[in-house]
Amino acid sequence: DYYFITVYVPNSRDGLVRLDYRMEWEDAFLAYIRSLDEKKPVIYCGDLNVAHKEIDLKNPKTNRRNPGFTDEERDKFSAVLGSGYSWWSYRFSARAKNVGWRIDYFVVSDKLRENLRDAKIHTEVLGSDHCPVELDIEL
């Protein structure tokens, strides 16, 4: 009844050496998702390597133009933002202080919008620098 996709979006890397590649990838992936959505609704999730809004990271002013927080990456994601995971760096006790970056998301086709019930971030689950999220959707 729907497509479910997991994805790891390419990182732009230090110095933004892969930003151009990332922009091409974003366009191609969006075209792919749209083509699938013509057949049946799409849910995709994963590490999208972008902090969409300033609230999605601890220090937005000092992270401008860093990989994952460029205007280009954020603009590409604006059209498809759903709800997501949260991510905290292992460095400097960031997870304990809740000062990480939210870069993992669930993105759900508008066709399923009315089926969304809830999303929860499970900060208590350890084992990775990514925190799992639970997406409640009635299918």
Split at pLDDT 50, 70, 90, the class of 81 is low
Least confident of 7-11, 95-99, 111-115, 126-130: 95-99
Q: In which band, very low, low, confident or very high, does the pLDDT at 75 lie, cut at 50, 70 and 90?
A: very high
The catalytic residues are 8, 47
Model pTM score: 0.86
Nearest CA to 76 out of 12, 18, 22 is that of: 22
**What b/e sequence results for 50-85 when a residue is b if at least 16 CB atoms lie within 10 Å of its CB, and e otherwise?**
bbbeeebbbeeeebeebbbbbebbbebbeebbbbbb
- What does the pLDDT read at residue 132? 87
What pLDDT shows up at residue 84? 41
Q: Is the pLDDT of residue 86 over 90?
A: no
pLDDT of 110 above 80: yes
pLDDT tens-digit map of 21-39: 999 999 999 999 999 999 9
